[in-house]
Structure 1
């Protein structure tokens, strides 16, 4: 009885569901199966009737993200993967329709003939020749064990197939693309026929916009008649107020006071590195000497007039407060000129592949060369040319020219700047052993080693809480009155717009990558006039949905700004046409209180009228006009014209137009991207990725 009771309670619900399904069937019988087909839920899109499952998309997405090493965002990866799938399916479909298939043998030949496969010792026999059977066995083992290496090989072979399909199709199409000599001749004429004309020009601006009335129905009709220009994706418009969590004056003073309390302990400590670490300094111990020009200039004099153990600060340096302790005082040149002979060993940085000597052998050779140049310094240049692996300086007898303190690797730098002119010694660096000769030094000056405690200026918890309360109060005020802009104006906030957000966008203008805001704006639960507070890194944002555009044709409201100028000029042209009727240009010019203008050496390639601007439609009409015949009421981009072509200068005929023909043919054959875009535009593509990324 309980079961029957439940069925009765649910009966109306079932009737409604079945009724809706039958209604859909009446409208389109093919939809009835889809109504109850749960597999549709698992589709991410469709390309020429072939469904793309979520699983297929997810697999390729994951593979691509691993391949890119996580260097791109989720949405960037999703776009690239979708574009790759679309391209692959479209080319495959085109080849299938043409009855052409890329066979396994084609793919295999491409793989085994790759240089990296042919030259790999792993796939070679005892004679050092490529062994195809050995390579096949390697792949079979990897496939059987389902290794990561097999996944990579499989992806590589799939990529070869995709490339082969694309290249095969493009080659077949471009093989049929050429150009005739007649086309070559026409192109030559278009580039070189020069026109001289007289014209009268009445600009559209001569009629005030206020005299032209554009109806909403006219805009709507224009959109429908030019629907290809006004197709749009779904979009959302939002406006937002951002509350940045920035440190207050009180926060800065508290940080400064905290550093003041550390000064005596900082002076007394014997281990500065431990002190910085234990007291949570935002900077660690700097082992390098510092010149006066490289420290904060506000406290530079105080530091360089101090002695070892002195502490200076607190002082503000960009976005932090600091205290600095003098650890060591010395004298040092600001620049050095030195020469070196570099002896690398196997394993050192940037070492050439043919270097096989061990570290011990490199050290022994360096010491041996050192003994030679110490006995006879004039041999240094010749030995540098003979032994140094630094070919640039070696060609100049080891000379490195002048360099400053920050240029060289630390060990090399320390020897060059703490030594004296004429010193020669061996120094080990990550690049090998260097025999270094200090040739010269200049600008000797005082330098310091400093220990600097750094405290970055960040907002306190109280400041963050205060900003949260401010954002929350604004959100609550909006919720009570549902007047986002009014409340913002009342509180002197300036809302910022983000117009035309797409469902897969990540970036919100003004606040950067904020996918969560875009996702919320496109949620099925979010409507126009809805708002929400978002907790971002370093700020709070209250966002408000101001507009919604669904996929299809652009709304009249959105299109008006584009369509109105076009319709306005069309109506102005109709009003001006009557004014440009006359028996000759003189009469037309007089009737319009203007003058006759001259166009000289105008070509279709450069359709610019002097004093007016670019007018391709008018110059095109001139190109086909009869000489000295008056043409009235010709509509251009900037106004209405009457003109008379006074001369058409035909260029000297060429013996043949093969060069022009070849140029046209090559241009067509290189337009594979345009070919793909044309195929893509004619394909039926349904993209439902947004369902995966909006809640």
Structure 2
């Protein structure tokens, strides 16, 4: 109990680094026990091992619970849940790939290694758990051990039900952390093995030092490629094919994609809808002016998106449009109705009180519970009278399995939140109770012996009843839009018809190339899973039925223009890019041919459309930016590092033109060469290659993602 109280007193708990935390949660064997079921449906495959929809859903559900627990959420919205699904899948794939490679290499993480990390207590994940020393903030293994002992004895304890539930959640969380540590250690071992295989040396270190510190100041002259018309350059299909074959490996497509065209109909309020909302808010304004009690019920009845809590709050906790107008209204005066374009709403509000209240409150408490209300009241009165008579608060708290230590709470934790009657009563007591005064407060099924220790940051606060009504479309408006679009869909059953007739009907066809099944949304519109499934089951040229989607405010139809199979990208999709590169190369050859006998920048300046510039502090490691051609030119940086002072370079083929440079000054800088430091930096850079290896493993790991079929 003591451990639980120590943990619970720290405010919002269990805020963890999700990226780190994902590793063990998914890959541990405990999550992969197959339950007997019929009709197995697989959402994916990694290196021949299939993942069923049931297993994947379990991972998503359990990680969703972790997210909700660690962030104090009751539920996840669609975007959050989609993010969880992707994190679960990506981590599953990564863990499977690493586990396969680790098994080949004989890499493991032993229980002793895991325990050593826990005993050391410096791992970033441990630092984010609630098992931390309240004074230092450091991970406290003794606090953890005490909790684990109490958790193990949970079945024989007489804890209240709410404590038992919290212990179970915290126990599940620690299991999660343990698995996470084990898997992150295995991943770290594998990545370190890759990184250590890349050895730096003194020669590379010196070269890296020079590339970073030696600077050149130079003059340049050149002719931009734009000075030569593209129409004067001929490019044959054979040339495009040859360049494609030369670059083919860079055009690998790891998954099958679709080229689609779609129409998105976004239903918006009509002028009549807006007038109806304004009329309603005007009526609410009159009623608000006459209301003198139970503002919470009245505001709730209006459908306002801003809760009324009965607690005076900071301006910053109110909507910006309301906060900006507070000083224009007096107490008990109604301000409104007015329109706010920021959130497309009509608004009115009434200031009930202006006061000064603390932003931070320090308090301590003893929670009193018993099996009957009479016994609880008797026990609470006994504790209250004992402390009021001089008994030590902390000692009494310890006698009832609690720490009784003081903790700070900030107004941000309740301002703007929906408060039930008990929470409102509790918060109002904290705000209004004099410092050091003792209070026996009945809240729900418990009594709290409460003492406010200190109050800080006294600020102006406002008790405001706000009615904010967003402008929304009516059922009639939606039906009109639906009927019109439904007729269009019925009359245009091919992709060509859809594209040909859309504009006349008032719709816009939106193209999307290389659309993948893991995109989750069509056109970034919520709830388009059905349309996504259709896209990846349709044939080229087909058009979908009408799908209602979004937040009940969108309708779409989709046409599949092309199916791009896994493998190499079709040459026709990159032909224009290749043609432009060939044109640029031919222009470069032409210009370099004209400059082949030049030995001064003056000769280039005499050419048609020539440009010139001076550039300072050019290093080998950083591409030189040439302002006259608006381009970064790595080739100039390389030539500058090898060109002697006062010498003129040969013609340089750049990204935006052909140049010649003349270096007029070089500076080696004041930094002294430190071989060990440079070698260490090179070694650190090898860690990036270790991360790249994971991407390469994924490419070769026969990864199949079919989640779109079920989720």
Give the shorter-chain TM-score range. Answer: 0.5 to 0.7
Name 1:637's counterpart in structure 2: 655
Q: For the structure 1 residues 412 and 111, does the alpha-carbon distance in structure 2 shift closer, same or farther, using more than 3 Å as the test? A: closer
- Any conservation in 2 of the 1:230–1:554 contact (CA below 8 Å)? yes
Shift of 1:228: 3.2
Name 1:87's counterpart in structure 2: 94
The 5 A counterparts of 1:54-453 are 54=52, 57=56, 60-69=59-68, 71=76, 75-102=82-109, 116=141, 119-121=144-146, 158-195=179-216, 199-232=220-253, 233-251=255-273, 287=310, 334-336=354-356, 344-347=364-367, 409-411=427-429, 432-434=450-452
SS state of the match for residue 614, structure 1? Answer: strand
Given the two structures, how large is their TM-score scaled by the length of structure 2?
Answer: 0.63
- Any conservation in 2 of the 1:426–1:435 contact (CA below 8 Å)? no
Q: Deviations over 1:186-217 (max 9, x none)?
A: 22222233445554412111111222234455
Structure 2 CA distance, aligned partners of 1:657 and 1:597? 36
Q: Does 1:608 align with 2:611?
A: no
The 5 A counterparts of 1:462-477 are 462-477=476-491
Given the two structures, how large is their TM-score scaled by the length of structure 1?
Answer: 0.64
Name 2:592's counterpart in structure 1: 577
Q: For the structure 1 residues 359 and 614, does the alpha-carbon distance in structure 2 shift closer, same or farther, using more than 3 Å as the test? A: farther
Structure 1 CA distance, aligned partners of 2:640 and 2:87? 47
Name 1:403's counterpart in structure 2: none
Structure 1 CA distance, aligned partners of 2:710 and 2:464? 55
Q: Deviations over 1:314-339 (max 9, x none)?
A: 98788677899x9xx98x6x444889
Name 1:567's counterpart in structure 2: 582
Shift of 1:592: 1.9
SS state of the match for residue 120, structure 1? Answer: helix
Name 1:44's counterpart in structure 2: 44
- Any conservation in 1 of the 2:626–2:633 contact (CA below 8 Å)? no
- Any conservation in 2 of the 1:427–1:433 contact (CA below 8 Å)? yes
Q: Deviations over 1:510-568 (max 9, x none)?
A: 5345333322222x234334132111233342323253333222234432453343222
Q: For the structure 1 residues 158 and 455, does the alpha-carbon distance in structure 2 shift closer, same or farther, using more than 3 Å as the test? A: closer
Root-mean-square deviation (CA, aligned residues, Å) is 5.8
Shift of 1:581: 1.8
Structure 2 CA distance, aligned partners of 1:113 and 1:481? 63
Shift of 1:655: 7.5
Q: Does 1:490 align with 2:504?
A: yes
Structure 2 CA distance, aligned partners of 1:493 and 1:246? 14
Q: For the structure 1 residues 76 and 221, does the alpha-carbon distance in structure 2 shift closer, same or farther, using more than 3 Å as the test? A: farther
Q: Does 1:687 align with 2:709?
A: no
Structure 1 CA distance, aligned partners of 2:224 and 2:344? 57
Q: Deviations over 1:389-414 (max 9, x none)?
A: 58899xxxxxxxxxxxx9x9545667
Q: For the structure 1 residues 189 and 106, does the alpha-carbon distance in structure 2 shift closer, same or farther, using more than 3 Å as the test? A: closer
- Any conservation in 1 of the 2:433–2:452 contact (CA below 8 Å)? no
Structure 2 CA distance, aligned partners of 1:166 and 1:122? 29
Structure 2 CA distance, aligned partners of 1:209 and 1:636? 17
Q: Count residues with an aligned counterpart.
A: 577
Structure 2 CA distance, aligned partners of 1:57 and 1:290? 44
Q: Deviations over 1:331-387 (max 9, x none)?
A: x6x444889996632249xxxxxxxx968756886899xxxxxxxxxxxxxxxxxx9
Q: For the structure 1 residues 296 and 680, does the alpha-carbon distance in structure 2 shift closer, same or farther, using more than 3 Å as the test? A: closer
The 5 A counterparts of 1:18-29 are none
Structure 2 CA distance, aligned partners of 1:504 and 1:656? 48
- Any conservation in 1 of the 2:623–2:633 contact (CA below 8 Å)? yes
Structure 1 CA distance, aligned partners of 2:479 and 2:147? 63
Shift of 1:570: 0.8
Structure 1 CA distance, aligned partners of 2:50 and 2:584? 46
- Any conservation in 2 of the 1:343–1:389 contact (CA below 8 Å)? yes
SS state of the match for residue 531, structure 1? Answer: coil
The 5 A counterparts of 1:659-674 are 659-669=677-687, 672-674=690-692
Structure 2 CA distance, aligned partners of 1:436 and 1:111? 36
- Any conservation in 1 of the 2:304–2:467 contact (CA below 8 Å)? yes
Shift of 1:636: 1.4
SS state of the match for residue 44, structure 1? Answer: strand
Q: For the structure 1 residues 666 and 339, does the alpha-carbon distance in structure 2 shift closer, same or farther, using more than 3 Å as the test? A: closer
- Structure 2, gaps ≥5 residues long: 1-37, 69-74, 122-139, 155-167, 316-320, 369-378, 391-403, 411-423, 442-447
> Of residues 517, 520, 528 in structure 1, which corresponds to 2:541?
528
Structure 2 CA distance, aligned partners of 1:267 and 1:655? 77
- Any conservation in 2 of the 1:246–1:458 contact (CA below 8 Å)? yes
Q: For the structure 1 residues 495 and 118, does the alpha-carbon distance in structure 2 shift closer, same or farther, using more than 3 Å as the test? A: same
Q: For the structure 1 residues 428 and 517, does the alpha-carbon distance in structure 2 shift closer, same or farther, using more than 3 Å as the test? A: farther
Structure 1 CA distance, aligned partners of 2:356 and 2:648? 81
- Structure 1, gaps ≥5 residues long: 1-37, 136-146, 307-311, 349-356, 369-386, 394-405, 417-422
SS state of the match for residue 525, structure 1? Answer: coil
Q: For the structure 1 residues 440 and 427, does the alpha-carbon distance in structure 2 shift closer, same or farther, using more than 3 Å as the test? A: farther
Structure 1 CA distance, aligned partners of 2:258 and 2:338? 48
